[in-house]
Structure 1
Amino acid sequence: MVRASCHAMPSRIAIIGAGIAGLVAGRELARRGFAVTLIERWPDVGGQASAFDLGGGVWLDRYYHHLFQIDAEMIALHDELLPGELERHSSSVGMWANGRIWPFTSP
């Protein structure tokens, strides 16, 4: 009789959720030789950092999100995981202090 060891390393792994954490976990496990299956309920990956089409070409963020130019590591990760999906827009967001508007964007 052959018994399976409860300590055997699995060769296949399923990850629930294709948000940033799921995508990074999947990437790292695949690099280590595992066969990874991502399971996501939405038609697109990205989780809270994704957007959806309201129709008529109007897109809405699934959750408020933004990246600053200084967030270079996160931008590089996004470009690696979802190449060509990151849209870059100039921002006119600012805050009022000391009698003037101060830009809320990176130089």
Structure 2
Amino acid sequence: MSLKNRDEHNRWRNKTIAFRVSPEENEQIERYVQLSGLTKQDYITRRLTHKDVVVQGNPRVFKALRNQFAAVLDELRRIEAGDGVNDELLDLIEMMTDIMDGMKEADTHE
């Protein structure tokens, strides 16, 4: 049995919500979770409750960004070779751009 946790409002998190996703949706969710630096639970909860997902730069986030930029570069090379652009790639690029913009804004406020 997992440990009981309290959220940031000191509420017990003792309810379980489960749902099914396709392998492609799972891959996309995993990418977004890695890029956010949050736990999967916190990321999904924030998204479902329409709260902002604020990315705090740390070594894990930078590593995830580096890996995703490499994957995007591979996809762009594939596209250049004549294949089409898929929606997941465009969504990923948009999220990565938002993260980088947020990191740039955080640097200017310090």
Q: TM-score, normalised by structure 1?
A: 0.32
Query: Which structure shows the bigger proportion of residues in strand conformation?
Result: 1
Q: TM-score, normalised by structure 2?
A: 0.31
Query: Which structure shows the bigger proportion of residues in helix conformation?
Result: 2
